[in-house]
Each structure stands twice: as structure tokens, then as C-alpha cells.
Amino acid sequence: MMPRIRYFTYKQIMAKTSRFETWRWGLAVVVCAAFAACAPSLNAVKSTAGLGTQLASFESTFDVAATYCRFADLGGTPDPQCQQLQADAANWHAVNRALVGYAAALSAMADDSKDQNQQTTIATALGASAQIGKAWSNVLNANVTSGISQGVATLISGITGVYRRERLAVVIKASADAVAAVARGIDDNIALLDRAAQNLTATLGDTLTSIQLGSAPAADRLGLAFALASVKIELASHRAALASYKAAVDAFAKAHATLRNGLNGLGERKADLELSQLIATDVVQIVQSTQTALTPVAVPPTAPVAPAH
Amino acid sequence: MAIDPASLQEVLALAQVCEDLARAALKVAQDQLRAKQISQSEFDQAFGDYGLAMQKARDMYYQASHDLAHSVAQGADCKALAAQTKALGESLGRLQKVEHVLAISFGVVTLVASIATAVGAPSEHTLAGAANAANSLKTAIGF
């Protein structure tokens, strides 16, 4: 008993192929659009990352604290803290670099300007495949080739775009607390060193008024006044740099927190799996649908015909 | 890891009290010198004490800064940032591999072509080809 094979006309084949393709591209677009709706905007990530990379210019901001600390040595009382502050500079460099490196990685992942458009490559590949045999050339006419290559290119663009956003969402969520904590640490240190600079400024002012009261020659007093005034200017500049550093760190931390708060459900393991499954299902269901459509239909056994009497 | 906000405020307040006391004492000494109630050497002594007190106050800031530098640089938050940066770099490296993108694109092309072939010439062989193409694409995408 031979199973009956369902054969399709050329029109039926094209209709099915076309239906599968339409469904496929449609699903891909829906997946990408659904993801993009709550995924981080690449432009928002880029601008946040830009705030983070600007922190590179503040790497040495804390270095001069040790130099100012040593002013006390001039009075004959070396401060043991200065050596520690000097050594701490390397740690603060590393902390700043951690933020800058992270921001640079965000920026690179959000930059899709160099993504390749594979449409021409795919169309060429399909065109070459069409030369292989009759079945190909029958199915792949110019319109189909163009449609498939455009659709595939869109799908690839969607996949890479989804991948970029999905990775960014995962990393931004995972890093949110760390960015906030490190930024707070830098802020705290700025507060401490700013107060130390204020202390020195007050000391310089008090020293100046004390010199005026003393019995030193006028030239000495004038020279010391000039020296102290120039140091006060340096300290004021240092405090301004600390304030700028604080503003830059806070801006980055705030923008990062805003990004993180905009990620609804993404970056969680469950959401990631759902996304993966959607794309994988897209691929698998096409094959399954094709298999179903082409499965040979079994012909029911016919009852033996009784001989006529 | 930052300083506990209460501890930071405590350090700042304590140091400020030290500074205020030192400066008040110096002001008294300056007034006394101006009124010639104390000698220059006595004022120098008072000024030395003032300098030391101000330095002690600064040391409170510096010591807190030193502790902070260690806790932030060696803390879990900085390590977490470094790990996330590394992970992002690896993901980007993977994405940027032209081979990976091409594998996906040709995987899709192969799949579509295999399905078209299977529809045009249905057989066990062509259906298996379509299934294999689907699996290859899944592998290329990385699921």
C-alpha cells in the first residue's frame, strides 16, 4: 500500500513560501519592535556613556591633595598622612578608570554605525545559488531574490540590534548599584578633600594676619603675603576642579540610573530567555510548518470488495 | 563602597569643631599680642599650637580619604564594574566578528533556500536539509 503524496502546483508552492516568509519577517519585526519598546535607546546609552568617558580628564584631580598636605612640613611638623595620600592616588586613578572603561564599553556597544548591511551579499549568494539547478531557478526569480535578501538583511539588522540592546540592558542593570556606589565614593572623597583644602585656605589666611602682627621686616612680610596669596589661588583652583569632578560624576551616575530605571523587565534571566526563545521559535516553526505541509498523507485502506454473485 | 553617610557627617563635624577651636584660640592670642599682653615668643607658641591643631583636623579628612580609597578601589563595586566592562567587551567582540554575522546571514539564506527546495522537491532528503539548516542557524546565532 503506497502512501499518497501531496503535490503542489508552482502557484501553491510560491503562495506557501511567500506566506512563510511574510510570517517570518513579520515575527522578526514584531520581536524587534517589542524589544525596542522597552530596551535602552542606543542614543540614550551613547549620551550617558559620553558623560562617563568625560571623567577621563579628572583622573589626576586627587593627586595634588598630597602636595597640599606637605605644606604642613614647611612649618617643621611633617604630616604622616601625606605619604598615604600619595599612595592613594593610584587607587583613585584605578577607580576613575573603572568608570571611564565601563562608559567606553557602553559607548562601543551602543554604536551601531559600522554594522554591515548584508543585503547585497545575500542577494549575490542567492543569485549564485539560482544557477545550481532547475528547482532553484524556478523558485528564485528576481523578485523573490530581492524580497528574500531584503528580508534577511532586515532580520540580521534586527538580530544585531536586539543583541546590542539586550546585552546593554543586562549590563546596565547589573552595573547600576556599582556605578551608584563608586560615584558616591568619589563624591565622599571630594567632600573630604574639599574640606581639607578649606582648612588650608583658612590656615593661610590666619597665617597672613599673624605675620602682619609680628615684628618681621616689611620685605619678609610682603614676600610671605605674596607667597601665601599665590597658594590660596592654587587652592581655589583645586576646589573648583573638585567641584567640576563632582558635577561630572553625578551627571554620569544620574544618567545611568535613568537608563536603568527605563529597563522594564529586560536584563532579567527570564526575559532574556523569552527573547531567545522567540527568535529560536521563529526559525524552528518555519521548518515544522514546512514539514507538516509536506508530510505524506496516508491513504486509508480500502475494504475488500465482495465478489458479485 | 562609599562611607556611611552618618560617619562622613561625623568626621566632617568633628574636624570642624577642632578647626573652630584652634582658630578661636589663635584669635585670642592675636588680640593679646596686639594689646601687648603676651610676648612674640608666647604668640609663636600659640601659633605653633594652632598650626598643629589645624593639621590634626586635616588629618581627620585625610585619614577618612585614605580609608575610602582602599574600600572603593578594593571593594566589590569596582570589581563588579570591571567584570561588567569585560563582559560587554567580549559581547562586542563576538558581535563584531564578521564571520559571526555572515554565519547568521548565510544560515538564514541556507534555511530559506532549503525550505524552498523542500517545497519544490519534497523528499526525506530535502526536509532533513531544511531541518539541518535551521539547526545551523540556531547555532550561529548562539542559542
pLDDT tens, chain B, 143 aa long: 567 778 889 999 999 999 999 999 999 999 999 999 999 899 999 999 999 899 999 999 999 999 999 999 999 999 999 999 999 998 888 776 654 665 666 677 777 777 777 777 777 877 777 777 777 777 766 65
Determine the pLDDT at residue A293.
44
Q: Which amino acid is at A192?
A: L
Determine the pLDDT at residue A165.
83
Q: Which amino acid is at A17?
A: T
Buried b (16+ CB within 10 A) or exposed e, A162-195: bbbbbbbbbbbbbbbebbbbbbbbbbbbbbbbbb
- Minimal CA separation from B136 to chain A, in Å: 10
Q: Tell which phi-psi region holds residue A265, choosing left (phi > 0), alpha (psi between -120 and 50) or beta.
A: left
Most B CBs within 10 A among A206, A278, A281, A284, hence the mutation to make, goes to A206
Determine the pLDDT at residue A13.
40
Question: CA–CA separation, A115 vs B66, rounded Å?
Answer: 45
Determine the pLDDT at residue A27.
47
Size of the A and B interface in Cβ pairs below 8 Å:
258
The three cell numbers locating residue A223: 614676600
Verify whether the Cβ–Cβ distance A156 to B105 is below 8 Å.
yes
* Closest residue, chain B, to A293 (C-alpha): B119
A 10 A CB-CB count for A305 gives 6
Verify whether the Cβ–Cβ distance B117 to A13 is below 8 Å.
no
Verify whether the Cβ–Cβ distance A85 to B109 is below 8 Å.
no
Q: What is the value of pTM for the model shown?
A: 0.71
Question: What parts of chain A have a pLDDT lower than 50?
Answer: 1-37, 132, 267, 271, 278, 282-283, 286-287, 289-291, 293-297, 299
Q: Which of B2, B87, B91 lies at the smallest CB-CB distance from A184?
A: B2
If 0-12 CB within 10 Å is exposed, 13-18 middle and 19+ buried, where does residue A196 land?
buried
- Minimal CA separation from A283 to chain B, in Å: 6
Determine the pLDDT at residue A216.
77
Those residues with Cβ within 8 angstroms of residue B89's Cβ, 6 or more apart along the chain or in another chain: A105, A108
Whats the size of chain B, residue-wise? 143
Q: Which of A193, A279, A284 lies at the smallest CB-CB distance from B65?
A: A193
Determine the pLDDT at residue A47.
93
> Would you say A122 and A149 are in contact if contact means Cβ atoms under 8 Å apart?
yes
Q: Which of A84, A156, A168 lies at the smallest CB-CB distance from B104?
A: A156
Q: Does A176 touch chain B (CB under 8 A)?
A: no
Residues of B in contact with A187 (CB under 8 A): 2
Predicted complex ipTM exceeds 0.90: no
If 0-12 CB within 10 Å is exposed, 13-18 middle and 19+ buried, where does residue B134 land?
buried
Most B CBs within 10 A among A100, A120, A192, A211, hence the mutation to make, goes to A192
Q: Which amino acid is at A299?
A: V
A 10 A CB-CB count for A228 gives 16
Output helix, strand, coil percentages for chain A, rounded to the nearest 5: 80, 0, 20
Determine the pLDDT at residue A126.
58
Determine the pLDDT at residue A127.
57
Question: CA–CA separation, B127 vs B124, rounded Å?
Answer: 5
